[in-house]
Structures are given as C-alpha cells and as structure tokens.
C-alpha cells in the first residue's frame, strides 16, 4: 500500500489508488496554499477524474508515472487554459498540451495544477504586484526563490511529490537551493520545448524539482527526448574542479556556502581550484530578448508590470542582431568550459551567492533595482545556461544562522545528467544533516 505522506514520486508511481493520492495532495493544497501561494490554478475535478480513469486501467497498460500527481510551472501550455507566464497579460486558452505536458500524461502522471512564477520568469524571486508573494514553506518570512518558486514551494511543502520548473539562468536550481530540494537543469535540447522553437533562445530548459535524486532521475527519464544519449560517467576517484568566487564585482558568497562546496568537493575526489568565465555579455542579450519574445504570446501586454515592460523594451532594442552575436559568444564560453572539462570530471560551486531573500524583496523595485537584487542569485548558475551543460542543485544541510537550507551546485560534461544525479545522491547522503 502506498504511503502518500512520504511524498516520494518513485514510490507513488504505479499506485493502485491514484484517486487517494490526488485527494491527499488536494487536501494539502487546500490547507497550505492560501498562505504559501504556490499555485496559480488547481485542477481538482479534472485530476480526480483522471485518477479514476487510471485506477480502472489494467496493470499492463500503466506508464512509468502511473498515478503520480505533478504540478507544472505556468509557462508550459496546457490545453484549455491560458499560459500566463506569471502575468495577467494572456487570456487565450491553449488548443493543445505542450510536448512536455503530453509526455507526462502519456506516462500516467496527473496534472494537478499550475505553479506561480514572477512575470516572464524575469526574477529569482516569486512575487508580483498582481498575484502577491509566494512564500518559502520552511520559513514564511523568506522567498522560495524563483523563477520556479511556486514549483519549489509546492514540493517543499508536501503538496505534490514532484513538480516541473524552467531554467533560463538558474530558475530551477535557485529555488531548489532556497527550499532544500534537488533541482536539475538538463543538457540543452534534452527536453522538447515544442510548440516553441526555443526558450529564451539558447538559455532556457525545463526540468524537475524533487525531494530526492532518484525522483529527478525518474522524471528526467520520462521527459528526455532521447534518454539513451545520457552518459553515466564514473563516480569514484574524480578530479573535481572547485570554484567559489562568484566572478561578479561586489558579490561574495556566504561562508556557509563556501564551506559546503569545499566539503562536497573533497568527498568526491581530488580537488583542483579553477577559474570560471563570467558570461554576462552572452547571457544578458538573450535574457532581455527572451522576455521581449514572450510579449508576442500575450493578447493584453499592456497589463504587464512596468518593470517587465522595461525589460522587454531593452530586448527590442537589442534585436535579432544582438542576440545572434550573443549566441556566438555563448559558443565561445562553451568551448572554454569543454576545455576545462578535459582536466576535471565535474565542477562544484555554491548554488547561490547569497542566503535566501526575504519575502517581498521586489516590493517597490523597478527594473534596475530589481536587477541589482537578483544578481547574487544567478552568479553561479547562469554560465551553464549560456554553455548548455547540465547542472544540479543539491541540498547539503542547513545554515546555523537562519536555519534555512544550504545547497551546492554540480555541473557536468555535456550529456552527463546521469552522473550528476548519482553524485547528488552520494553527497546528500553524507551531508544532508550537516550544520554549516
């Protein structure tokens, strides 16, 4: 009999009572979400109806995620509802599911709702002027991070066993770090972004957040277009590249983050200090251009927040010529990183360059001041969006000062998601109860 309170997607998969699991999640959502504000929409009736269909299905017809309730970040198309991107600017319902949602449904997952995000995924904090503040279930005075903050809050609070986020500069790994979860940014192109030709040009990917490394492996195997290309890599006697400097002026990581990265690196093998490039010249044009591109999907763009509109205008000014140049710079950084990976097996850094932010950090901030507040959170993660390499956030205990999670970040060679998930499991086993 499945114990739904474990919130373990791998254990839930194949349940003989999908309806009970869905009802368990819906009760948790009803109880907790009025305070946390993790969900934008909840599909209670549809989820129960689908669960009943699955319960009637013969065992030999069940998919790998049979009966698992999953929440979806509100930038993925779901048939019959508008894709909001965290805004009020779109009211046109989608005609069909995105490829990602269709793949989850085909595997037997039950889409239970959509999760909140800042407008257009622009910030590493999940709040807006119209939808309010999403709060960290580990401490309501703090943000769950972003932009997949609603996704992270839903999983960390036990409202769903696993959920889907999106990552254009750290937006899976940052909230995973703030909420004590595992979150993986897969290899660029690993998961289809259909019906869209790209997510923020070369930067964006989708991926899961979960409470365990094995749940990440399960969901990624379902979502991957070609799981056979994922390479395992060895997990013993590694050469570990360690980089704790942020590379951005004025951003110094907390001591607990540095100690955690150093300790995790030493657990895995021989450690060599490395210097990573700072790819702002490649990242920023694609970031602004990606936000600008999303405006074309809205039927009421005038309802966007002023600071979001400012970001889009910058993207319009940069134009396709600037984006093309930025992609070429991205190829340069990809080659630099591949050269580094000829001497090391994996790279470990802190996940974020600051402690979790207070809830409401964006209040009264404009585009410029919000950018300033956001910079420490993507200081380590955005490089790997530029280069396309896979990377994972791993919870490794708590900070003794604020009692919130500490997370380390592992980046791997191209297509080595499987190795990263295995290493994440090893590190978490050793350090999950550590106090830094």
Q: Name the DSSP letter for residue 357.
A: P
Give the Cα separation of 7 and 58 in Å (integer). Answer: 24
Q: At what angle do helices 99-106 and 213-223 cross, to 10 degrees?
A: 110
- Going by C-beta distance under 8 Å and a sequence separation of 6 or more, which residues neighbour residue 51? 18, 19, 21, 22, 67, 110
Give the Cα separation of 54 and 48 in Å (integer). Answer: 10
Catalytic residue flag (residue 84): no
Query: Which residue in 171, 246, 256, 382 is the catalytic one?
Result: 171
Give the Cα separation of 357 and 320 in Å (integer). Answer: 34
Query: Which residue in 84, 128, 131, 147 is the catalytic one?
Result: 147
Give the Cα separation of 359 and 348 in Å (integer). Answer: 28
Give the Cα separation of 427 and 176 in Å (integer). Answer: 15
Catalytic residue flag (residue 171): yes
Catalytic residue flag (residue 143): no
Verify cis geometry, omega within 30 degrees of 0, for the bond prior to 147: yes
Residue bearing tokens 């499991």: 425
CB 284 within 8 A of CB 322: no
- Going by C-beta distance under 8 Å and a sequence separation of 6 or more, which residues neighbour residue 18? 50, 51, 52, 54, 55, 66, 67, 110
- Which sequence positions are flagged as catalytic? 73, 147, 171
């Amino acid at each position: 009999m499945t114990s739904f309170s474990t919130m373990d997607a791998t254990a839930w998969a194949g349940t003989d009572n999908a309806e009970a699991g869905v009802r368990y999640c819906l009760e948790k959502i009803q109880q907790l979400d009025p305070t946390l504000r993790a969900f934008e929409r909840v599909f209670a009736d549809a989820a129960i109806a689908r669960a009943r269909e699955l319960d009637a299905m013969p065992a030999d017809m069940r998919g790998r995620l049979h009966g698992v309730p999953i929440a979806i970040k509100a930038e993925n198309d779901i048939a019959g509802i508008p894709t909001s991107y965290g805004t009020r600017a779109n009211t046109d319902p989608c005609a069909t599911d995105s490829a990602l949602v269709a793949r989850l449904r085909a595997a037997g997952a039950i889409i239970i709702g959509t999760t909140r995000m800042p407008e257009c995924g622009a910030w590493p904090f999940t709040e807006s002027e119209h939808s309010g503040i999403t709060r960290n279930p580990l401490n309501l005075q703090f943000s769950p991070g972003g932009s997949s903050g609603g996704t992270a809050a839903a999983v960390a609070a036990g409202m769903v066993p696993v959920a889907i986020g999106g990552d254009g500069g750290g937006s899976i790994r940052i909230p995973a770090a703030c909420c004590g979860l595992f979150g993986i940014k897969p290899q660029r192109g690993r998961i289809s972004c259909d019906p869209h030709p790209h997510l923020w040009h070369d930067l964006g990917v989708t991926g899961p957040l979960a409470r365990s490394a094995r749940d990440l492996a399960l969901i990624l195997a379902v979502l991957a277009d070609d799981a056979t290309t994922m390479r395992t890599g060895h997990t013993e006697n590694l050469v570990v590249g360690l980089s704790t400097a942020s590379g951005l002026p004025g951003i110094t990581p907390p001591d607990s983050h540095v100690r955690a990265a150093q300790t995790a690196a030493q657990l895995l093998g021989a450690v060599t200090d490395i210097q990573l490039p700072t790819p702002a010249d490649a990242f920023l044009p694609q970031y602004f251009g990606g936000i600008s591109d999303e405006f074309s999907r809205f039927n009421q763009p005038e309802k966007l927040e002023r600071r979001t509109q400012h970001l889009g205008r910058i993207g319009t000014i940069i134009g396709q010529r600037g984006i093309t140049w930025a992609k070429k710079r991205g190829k340069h950084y990809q080659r630099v990183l591949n050269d580094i990976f000829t001497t090391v097996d994996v790279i470990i850094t802190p996940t974020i360059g600051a402690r979790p932010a207070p809830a409401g950090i964006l209040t009264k901030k404009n585009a410029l001041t919000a950018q300033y507040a956001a910079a420490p959170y993507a200081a380590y993660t955005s490089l790997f969006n530029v280069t396309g390499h896979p990377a994972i956030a791993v919870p490794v205990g708590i900070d003794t000062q604020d009692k919130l999670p500490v997370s380390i970040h592992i980046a791997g060679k191209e297509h080595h998601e499987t190795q990263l998930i295995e290493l994440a499991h090893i590190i978490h086993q050793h350090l999950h109860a550590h106090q830094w």
